[in-house]
Amino acid sequence: MYWWWNGYGYGCKTGMKIYEMTDEQRIKLLLDGGYLTEGQADLLRSRQTISTDLADSLSENQIGSFSLPYGFATDFLVDGIDYLVPMVIEEPSVIAAASNAAKRIKNSGGFRTFPTSRIVYGQIVLENITQASLSRLEQASSEIFEFAQNAHPSLLKRGGGVVSLNFNYYDEFVEIELGIDTVDAMGANMVNTILEKTSQKVSTMINGDVLCSILSNSGQGQVITVEAEINFDQLSTKTMAGHEVATRIVKLSAFAKASVKRAVTHNKGIMNGIDAVLLATGNDFRAQEAAAHSFAFESGQYQPFSEWHLAEGKLVGTLKMPIELGSVGGAIRALPMAQLSLAIMKIHSSKQLQSVVGAVGLANNLSALRALVTTGIQAGHMGLQSKSLAISAGAVGTEIDLVAAKLNQTKNYTIKNAQNILLELRDK
Ligand code: NDP
């Protein structure tokens, strides 16, 4: 058996699918495809968790490290570039769903992405400030801007820095809002450094108190749009024509706009993919979650991050949301697995990573909607869940597949059923 690779697709001469391979065969596939070096392959094979020193440096009171499955989604054609996308997730079916939809989209031309700026906003919050102090500050805004600009000189050298300064007024508060281009870093520490230095200068210019200085996780300066057009023939099921599937997806998308309860679940499916890539790349997924919450409420009513409509004989999906991440800095540089993920994707910038992450969100969304309007979500989901159910029931080694197969046959996905199947198996 040997692997076949042409730079765009992969497989092996036996016709084995990636999900049918062992983990060692998958590692070999990535090695042969030029996605991994021998050293990186060894890192994967060692199944090492992080070192004690690294764990101690990243967090407090550590007594170990916590592992989750690390896999990759396939067939992501994003802005003309083919990606394998590493994902860290404990939920069965998320990687399968991402790959499944990505292939349908690839066969229809791939994802197009439209990142905007990558600006992080920061707030210097002032209270009890007199009108005279406020006037002084407003007149000195160019001076404050210059000071902030020079507070992190390396950022300027990298082509980033402060891009805006605004005063915002609340009842008893005044806020100096800085917009900062953090280039490839997520930027929280950088922005906080700039804000704290600047607030010291500001405090010398006012009668009043600087209440705090902190970045905003609103993600307002990091909104990305991802689009995909899907041919109807890529959507059909055994029992439903592609056009009908597409029409039903559009209706369900409209329902998500009308129903907050549905919109939340619609968005959870998108976050399944987004969070899994953020974890795999060592990014701060809590920052992303916070940005997503804020954006969902932007119009005043909680809204879905994506919408689907029909145009020119195709199903067209558009995802629009902030994606708050970095491709350098924070834990990314310290975590070997995060570095490995960026290497597998051949990521060169935070904008590029944003595009891939957005595409994964839209792919997971399409898979969920297609399943919901056709077979229902449980058919595929529980089929994949059966293995973890088998393990929870006590199955080991070859028992796992046997118990899982029987669970899928009976379609009774309960721990009790799994235990009974295992007992029967061991009695034979
Ligand atoms: P860092 O503090 O690590 O700063 C980014 C680093 O990346 C800098 O050292 C910078 O070097 C370096 N760098 C290398 N190449 C580039 C490049 N091309 N573009 C930009 N920087 C580059 O991380 P962040 O400022 O990104 O902060 C992220 C961390 O902050 C995360 O761990 C997050 O969890 C945490 N955090 C989050 C908060 C929140 O979200 N509310 C609050 C506080 C912390 P140089 O300095 O030489 O330019």
- How far is Cα 374 from Cα 271, in angstroms, rounded to an integer? 22
- How far is Cα 203 from Cα 78, in angstroms, rounded to an integer? 47
Q: How confident is the model at residue 14 (pLDDT cuts 50, 70, 90)?
A: low
Q: If you measure from the C-alpha of residue 189 to the centroid of ligand 1, how many angstroms do you get, rounded to a whole number?
A: 5
Query: Which residues of 43-118 form beta strands (DSSP E)?
Result: 70-78, 81-88, 111-115
Task: Give nearest CA residue, ligand 1 atom 15.
Answer: 328
Give tens-digit pLDDT for 322-344.
999 999 999 999 999 999 999 99
Indicate whether 6 pLDDT > 50.
no
Give tens-digit pLDDT for 255-267.
999 999 999 999 9
Q: If you measure from the C-alpha of residue 117 to the centroid of ligand 1, how many angstroms do you get, rounded to a whole number?
A: 17
Q: If you measure from the C-alpha of residue 198 to the centroid of ligand 1, how many angstroms do you get, rounded to a whole number?
A: 18
Task: Give nearest CA residue, ligand 1 atom 2.
Answer: 189
Indicate whether 100 pLDDT > 80.
yes
Task: Give nearest CA residue, ligand 1 atom 7.
Answer: 329
Q: Verify whether residue 427 is a known catalytic residue.
A: no
Indicate whether 148 pLDDT > 60.
yes
Q: What is the pTM of this model?
A: 0.91
Q: Verify whether residue 91 is a known catalytic residue.
A: yes
For the chain, the C-alpha Rg in angstroms (whole number) is 25
Question: Are the C-beta atoms of residues 163 and 179 closer than 8 Å to each other?
Answer: yes
Helix, strand and coil content of the chain, in percent to the nearest 5, comes to 50, 20, 30
Atom from ligand 1 closest to the CA of residue 193: 25
- As a whole number, mean pLDDT of residues 370-393 equals 84
How many percent of the chain have pLDDT more than 70? Answer: 96
> What is the model's pLDDT at position 378?
73
Indicate whether 113 pLDDT > 50.
yes
> What is the model's pLDDT at position 49?
80
Q: What's the Cα-to-Cα distance from 129 to each of 148, 169, 177, 205, 216, rounded to whole Å?
A: 21, 11, 16, 11, 22
Identify residue 15 by its one-letter amino acid code.
G
